[in-house]
């Protein structure tokens, strides 16, 4: 059975076609610049290299059509008929309090996704457009929505409420939701397998460190706290996002700089974090190169990032009254050898100690804890697409 996994952004669409017999991706790709100048589709058949297809791509309907054509192409295709796609699984960013797990798309599900648009104005509309484009092109093929927020719905009130008027929570559902749920779910499951222990017996801290970054405390397989909030802005310092700061600083900056709410949101989401502090880049490879050349601001940015991740790990160890393993995943977590070491150095008091030799890996599952360390340190490459495909299969069986 083959499942198409789709992740639609406002002007992009990422996809993978996964064969569920082997759980391997047969093909994957990215449509970029939908609705703007110079759009293109970069498609890759497993083991056959990339092909770039340039075409008019005015909207997501056309983008999905091109993806299906690429998947059926005589040279770089992997299926001969659209009917071979048994179902499509869609990443949906915000499921609010409606969704604690994935759901087959129905009119009611689409209505609930649109009701969450206010909470994720950049993402949910694009996710819905992607779903509707597939519905048009794929007829009765089942569509499944998999939510970034669902895994975190097990958080207790004491974790997810903000200490503001309870009436604001009741009126607008202002609370912590958390994101990267499929990633935290996947890597904590893999960690339990690597440690050869039932997940129900483990206290895990998962650090998803990519352009967007979040930490999640998972006790017995259930998320009990996470660093992102109502939106992905809260929590860690990220590539371009500020993460935690005094909310009073927001109105202060707006007054002083004469900024509108939109401009302020953009400053905090797109011009802050590692980019804001270093002044050069949001990409950790650039930052690490600049540090080597003696760039002091890049060094502060990197130090701040490590320090803040370590603080979250410490606070989640306290929240769970212990921790068995810390997991590093996503671009920086999987590849940032120096970053993992620097974070672990803060955490000796918890019983965390890295083995520098074992830590010397990129993008591979490894336990890099020093011999005898009380807490295990793991690298686990994430695979959100596989979680989406598995959930889709389970709901369509």
Residues making contact with ligand ADP (CB under 6 A): 210-212, 239, 283-285, 330-332, 335-336, 362
Q: Kindly state the tokens that stand for 365.
A: 């599952």
**Spacing of C-alpha 54 from chain mean position:** 28
Calpha distance 332→207 (Å, rounded): 10
Calpha distance 369→359 (Å, rounded): 8
Query: CB 289 → ligand ADP: shortest distance, Å?
Result: 10
Give the HSE-up count for residue 261: Cα atoms under 13 Å, Cβ half-sphere. 0
- Rounded alpha-carbon distances, angstroms, from residue 126 to 121, 299, 386, 387: 9, 37, 21, 20
Q: Compare residues 132 and 283 and give the one whose CB is closer to ligand ADP.
A: 283
Calpha distance 21→15 (Å, rounded): 18
Calpha distance 256→122 (Å, rounded): 27
Query: CB 29 → ligand ADP: shortest distance, Å?
Result: 16
- CB of 390 closer than 8 Å to CB of 87: no
- CB of 44 closer than 8 Å to CB of 53: no
Q: Nearest CA to 210 among 180, 189, 245, 177? A: 180
Q: Compare residues 87 and 212 and give the one whose CB is closer to ligand ADP.
A: 212
Query: CB 335 → ligand ADP: shortest distance, Å?
Result: 3
Query: CB 212 → ligand ADP: shortest distance, Å?
Result: 5
Calpha distance 320→307 (Å, rounded): 20
Query: CB 329 → ligand ADP: shortest distance, Å?
Result: 8
Q: Positive or negative, the Cα torsion across 114, 127, 239, 236?
A: positive
Q: Nearest CA to 18 among 29, 31, 7, 28? A: 28
φ, ψ at 223 (rounded to 5°): -70, 130
Calpha distance 64→68 (Å, rounded): 6
- Residue 343, H or E segment: helix 337-345
Query: CB 363 → ligand ADP: shortest distance, Å?
Result: 8
Q: Compare residues 292 and 362 and give the one whose CB is closer to ligand ADP.
A: 362
- Residues catalogued as catalytic: 148
Q: Compare residues 320 and 332 and give the one whose CB is closer to ligand ADP.
A: 332
Element counts in the chain: helices (H) and strands (E) = 14, 14
Q: Compare residues 216 and 330 and give the one whose CB is closer to ligand ADP.
A: 330
Q: Compare residues 332 and 347 and give the one whose CB is closer to ligand ADP.
A: 332
Q: Kindly state the tokens that stand for 348.
A: 């000796």
Q: Nearest CA to 383 among 330, 333, 340? A: 330
**Residue number with the shortest CB distance to ligand ADP?**
331
| Residue 51 bridge partners (DSSP) | 43
Query: CB 278 → ligand ADP: shortest distance, Å?
Result: 12
- Report the SS3 class of residue 251: helix
Query: CB 303 → ligand ADP: shortest distance, Å?
Result: 15
Calpha distance 56→40 (Å, rounded): 8
Q: Compare residues 98 and 210 and give the one whose CB is closer to ligand ADP.
A: 210
DSSP 102: -
Q: Compare residues 388 and 395 and give the one whose CB is closer to ligand ADP.
A: 388
């Amino acid at each position: 059975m083959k499942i198409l996994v789709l992740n639609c952004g406002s002007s992009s669409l990422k996809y993978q076609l996964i064969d569920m017999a082997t759980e391997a991706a047969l093909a994957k790709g990215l449509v970029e610049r939908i609705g703007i100048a110079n759009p293109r589709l970069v498609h890759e058949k497993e083991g056959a290299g990339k092909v770039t297809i340039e075409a008019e791509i005015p909207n997501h309907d056309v983008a999905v059509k091109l993806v299906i054509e690429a998947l059926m192409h005589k040279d770089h295709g992997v299926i001969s008929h659209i009917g071979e796609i048994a179902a499509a699984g869609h990443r949906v960013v915000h499921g609010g309090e409606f969704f604690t797990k994935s759901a087959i798309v129905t009119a009611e599900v689409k209505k609930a996704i649109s009701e969450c648009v206010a909470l994720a104005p950049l993402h949910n509309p694009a996710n819905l457009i992607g779903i509707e484009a597939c519905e048009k092109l794929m007829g009765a093929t089942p569509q499944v929505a998999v939510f970034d927020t669902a895994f975190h719905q097990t958080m207790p009130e004491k974790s997810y409420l903000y200490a503001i008027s309870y009436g604001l929570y009741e009126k607008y559902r202002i609370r912590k939701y958390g994101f990267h749920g499929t990633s935290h779910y996947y890597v904590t499951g893999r960690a339990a397998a690597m440690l050869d222990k039932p997940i129900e017996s483990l206290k895990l801290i998962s650090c998803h460190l990519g352009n967007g970054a979040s930490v999640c405390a998972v006790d017995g397989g259930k998320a009990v706290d996470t660093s992102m909030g109502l939106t992905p802005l809260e929590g860690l310092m990220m590539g371009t996002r500020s993460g935690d700061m005094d909310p009073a600083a927001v109105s202060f900056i707006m007054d002083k700089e004469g900024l509108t709410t939109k401009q302020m949101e953009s400053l905090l989401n797109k011009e802050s974090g590692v980019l804001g502090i270093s002044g050069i880049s949001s990409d950790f490879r650039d930052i690490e190169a600049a540090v080597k050349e003696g760039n002091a601001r890049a060094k502060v940015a990197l130090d701040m990032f490590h320090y803040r991740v370590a603080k979250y790990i410490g606070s989640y160890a306290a929240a769970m009254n212990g921790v068995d393993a810390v997991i590093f995943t996503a671009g920086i977590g999987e590849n940032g050898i120096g970053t993992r070491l620097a974070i672990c150095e803060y955490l000796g008091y918890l019983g965390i100690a890295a083995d520098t030799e074992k830590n010397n890996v990129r993008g591979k599952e490894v336990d890099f804890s020093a011999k005898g360390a009380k807490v295990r340190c793991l690298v686990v490459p994430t695979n959100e697409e596989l979680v989406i495909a598995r959930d889709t299969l389970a709901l369509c069986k």
